[in-house]
Chain A
Amino acid sequence: MGPLSLPDVSGYDEMILPGGKVRDAYKGYHRWLLGQVHDGLLRKRKEAELQFHRVGITFNVYGEESGIERLIPFDALPRVIPAADWRRLEQGAIQRVRALNLFLHDIYHDQAIVRTGLVPAEQIFGNAQYQPCMQDLDLPNRVYSHISGVDVIRDGEGTWYVLEDNLRTPSGVSYMIENRRMMMRLFPELFAHQSVAPVEHYPSLLLETLQESGNGPNPTVVLLTPGRFNSAYFEHAFLAQQMGIELVEGADLFVKDGFVFMRTTAGPQRVDVIYRRIDDDYLDPLAFRPDSMLGVPGLLSVYRDGNVILANAMGTGVGDDKSIYPYVPDLIRFYLDEEPILANVPTWQCRDPKALDHVLAHLPELVIKEVHGAGGYGMLVGPAASRAEIEAFRERLKARPANYIAQPTLSLSTCPIFVEEGIAPRHIDLRPFVLSGKETRLVPGGLTRVAMSAGSLVVNSSQGGGTKDTWVLEDGSC
């Protein structure tokens, strides 16, 4: 097989313009690509798979036989973001996370947002993610979400939208780092000729964020994992190792005399900051789910006394719930007195009778989501649904309108990937990771997820989605 040709694209493609030219940000990469042959790139792909298996980057799949691990498909064609686009994304993500942290502080203290009537009280206090145990608790730097994943997409016109915020235990950052390492190993020459902003310092920024989230100097920081059966266990082990901190499970920690201790061969050692990758409900079996031993009995009492820091804080889920999402632009205006830099996807809240009328009249064009649902359950994708499915959903919607939101069906932008036959466009999204300590910041990049089959909009790794390296170009290079 010979040199590669670029495919035709429809809609917004990150690399290719209608008519076959490439965008400015891809010019450098494209020059390099013209010198490559297809077989050579396929060989590189094999090499990458082998390497990923060797370093153990695998992914546990829920619902399959236990112990099954598989690779998340890696695509070697980078997603390139021009410097100017990134600056806007960066500012927008920081703005959003700052507003969400202020919102969380507010609802767990004075509740100005409720008193002014901007968000109805039952949307907050009736939400199962609002944790009564957080009410009136003061947190250092007033930070609730230390690590936030802000999922963004471009639509068919190339406009950026925030799809959702992840303020609980967002995962995927290890792929951002490993994908870059892999690209540098496979194609070192690419990085010699272009200024791609580095992402390798993420673990040290994360450690700094965790350290400054505590009260005193030199805090002992640990990473609390649910264990090796968790789908993100590789990432937990990876980040702990990169930061040089202990990776612990619930049984390695205990509570005594108002503090949290870690069992070590040298005796109990006090723990000051816990980077927890366990959901709220499992953190303390004495306060939450009694049937789970993943957490630490007594942890909540120490946390409420201010003697240990949890990152992220408990009760952040009320900030990233689908029922709160439509309010985020207003939250930015309310808390920061700024206009939102990044747009929300227009959302109809079916609890509002006027919105419901509109939604019922346009079901075949819309995506309807359950307010508290996740992972695509209880969802209607109008354009892909049959007449009967739409009518059945109409009844559910009428019966419990407050349980649903509706959005237009967006066509995600595409980015080319390497396939057996050559190069083909696939839909993508992007998750940058925002760190909030004394200040709010992010490394230039993120996790780009790819729907690996043609036309598919599903980028979730649990459903066969893949990843690719994300390049933020530094100024002056194109």
Chain B
Amino acid sequence: MKLSIRHRTEYRYSERVRHSTQYLRLTPRPSRRQRILDWHLDLPEHATRAADGFDNILHVLTLDHPHQSIELTARGQVEIVDEDQEDDDARLSPLVFARTSALTATDDALADLAQRYRGPASLDTLERLSQRILDDMPFAAGVTDVASDAAAAYRGGQGVCQDHTHVFLACCRALGIPARYVSGYLYSDDSEHVASHAWAEVWQDDRWHTFDVTNQTRRPRHHLKLAVGLDYLDACPVRGVRYGGGVESLNAVAHVRLTGAEQ
């Protein structure tokens, strides 16, 4: 399946920003499952390209002069090869992903939830856990924000893909199962869901398995992976720090279209 992506992010500030530095994870890494046909970043200035500790492609953008807005666009075409499984990069020990993180720490409620699925780890058990999480916290935008952690989101009883993923990761890790956060894009003809997406991967039987809690699927046929990490903070498409600027307003739009013969 060929997908065409256009993802525009615009920050506007009420006052002048003196200096800003951003980590951008807006470029997908090619793998057996995702072929990058072409990809461009339109940025206000040249950014340095690097790889982060999780092997994500990272661009570092520094604006060391006064500015009042930042506009970032990622666009390109990719091909998702559905029948192939993901490359399993063995550079980092999967055990790293069995650790908890600030956004995936458990409270009593999450520990209780995880406890119900204790026993010999199996993908079927985790699928029931995933179903239970979506039942307990149906999709709803605007209830949580990007800084919400798993425990708070679960308490709130509603959330978006980021929250579903964090709750799922928190439970997996409480059960001692390595699990990681994935950020990326999702093709969907359902306009309710945004094209920017997050899901989880679980390490079982020496490979990573997809768990998209929000969409209750384990088959990532419409998913383009941008970055992985312990949680949202490691993998999010844009993370920045600024000096000055006052109030920030953010406008982000991502479009994912089917291209080629399948359109």
The answer to whether B233 touches A135 (Cβ under 8 A) is no
Q: How far is the CB of B250 from chain A (nearest CB, A)?
A: 16
The answer to whether B21 touches A298 (Cβ under 8 A) is yes
The answer to whether B96 touches A125 (Cβ under 8 A) is yes
| Interface residue A122 (Cβ < 8 Å from any Cβ of B) | yes
B98 — which chain A residues lie within 8 A by C-beta?
122, 125-126
| Interface residue A254 (Cβ < 8 Å from any Cβ of B) | yes
The answer to whether A255 touches B95 (Cβ under 8 A) is no
Q: How far is the CA of A166 from the CA of B89 in the complex (A)?
A: 33
Q: Which residue of B lies closest to A125 (CB)?
A: B95
The answer to whether A132 touches B21 (Cβ under 8 A) is no
B51 — which chain A residues lie within 8 A by C-beta?
304
Q: Known: A255-B21, A256-B64, A301-B58. Contact between A286 and B53, CB under 8 A?
A: no
A130 — which chain B residues lie within 8 A by C-beta?
96
Which residue of B92, B99, B241 has the most chain A CB atoms within 10 A of its CB atom? B241
Say which residue of B50, B233, B241 sits within 8 Å of A301 (CB atoms): B50
B233 — which chain A residues lie within 8 A by C-beta?
290
Q: How far is the CA of A347 from the CA of B192 in the complex (A)?
A: 58
B52 — which chain A residues lie within 8 A by C-beta?
133, 287, 300-301, 304
CB interface residues, A 122-137, toward B, < 8 Å: 122, 124-126, 128, 130-136
| Interface residue A285 (Cβ < 8 Å from any Cβ of B) | yes
B23 — which chain A residues lie within 8 A by C-beta?
286-287, 298, 301
Q: How far is the CB of B7 from chain A (nearest CB, A)?
A: 20
The answer to whether A286 touches B239 (Cβ under 8 A) is yes
The answer to whether B96 touches A132 (Cβ under 8 A) is yes
- Contact indicator per residue, chain A 271-313, by CB within 8 Å of chain B (1) or not (0): 0000000000000011101100100011011001100000000
Q: How far is the CB of A297 from chain B (nearest CB, A)?
A: 4
Q: How far is the CA of A124 from the CA of B98 in the complex (A)?
A: 12
| Interface residue B249 (Cβ < 8 Å from any Cβ of A) | no
A256 — which chain B residues lie within 8 A by C-beta?
62, 64
Q: How far is the CB of A369 from chain B (nearest CB, A)?
A: 21
| Interface residue A227 (Cβ < 8 Å from any Cβ of B) | no
The answer to whether A254 touches B64 (Cβ under 8 A) is yes
B239 — which chain A residues lie within 8 A by C-beta?
286, 290
- Contact indicator per residue, chain A 94-125, by CB within 8 Å of chain B (1) or not (0): 00000000000000000100000000011011
How many residues on the A side are at the interface (Cβ–Cβ under 8 A)? 32
Say which residue of A128, A133, A300 sits within 8 Å of B99 (CB atoms): A128
Q: How far is the CA of A289 from the CA of B58 in the complex (A)?
A: 18
| Interface residue A189 (Cβ < 8 Å from any Cβ of B) | no
Q: Which residue of A lies closest to B21 (CB)?
A: A297
Q: How far is the CB of A121 from chain B (nearest CB, A)?
A: 6
Q: How far is the CB of B11 from chain A (nearest CB, A)?
A: 15
Say which residue of A134, A254, A289 sits within 8 Å of B19 (CB atoms): A254
A337 — which chain B residues lie within 8 A by C-beta?
none
CB interface residues, B 216-262, toward A, < 8 Å: 233, 239-241, 243
A258 — which chain B residues lie within 8 A by C-beta?
48, 50, 60
Say which residue of B53, B58, B60, B240 sits within 8 Å of A131 (CB atoms): B53
The answer to whether A305 touches B93 (Cβ under 8 A) is no
Q: How far is the CB of B135 from chain A (nearest CB, A)?
A: 31
B240 — which chain A residues lie within 8 A by C-beta?
286, 297
| Interface residue A251 (Cβ < 8 Å from any Cβ of B) | yes
Q: How far is the CA of A316 from the CA of B51 in the complex (A)?
A: 21
Q: How far is the CA of A48 from the CA of B19 in the complex (A)?
A: 46
CB interface residues, A 180-232, toward B, < 8 Å: none
- Contact indicator per residue, chain B 170-206, by CB within 8 Å of chain A (1) or not (0): 0000000000000000000000000000000000000
A255 — which chain B residues lie within 8 A by C-beta?
21, 60, 62
Q: How far is the CB of B172 from chain A (nearest CB, A)?
A: 14
Which residue of B22, B46, B64 has the most chain A CB atoms within 10 A of its CB atom? B64
Contact residues of B with A, CB < 8 Å? Answer: 19, 21-23, 46, 48, 50-54, 58, 60, 62, 64, 91-93, 95-96, 98-99, 102, 233, 239-241, 243
Contacts A/B (CB < 8 Å), 27 sampled: A111-B93, A124-B93, A126-B96, A128-B99, A130-B96, A132-B53, A135-B91, A251-B243, A255-B21, A255-B60, A256-B62, A257-B62, A285-B241, A286-B21, A286-B22, A286-B23, A286-B240, A287-B23, A287-B53, A290-B233, A290-B239, A298-B21, A298-B62, A301-B23, A301-B48, A301-B58, A305-B48
4 tightest A-B CB contacts, nearest first: A133-B53, A125-B95, A297-B21, A297-B241
A111-B93, A300-B53 given; name 5 further pairs at CB < 8 Å.
A122-B98, A286-B21, A286-B22, A298-B21, A304-B53
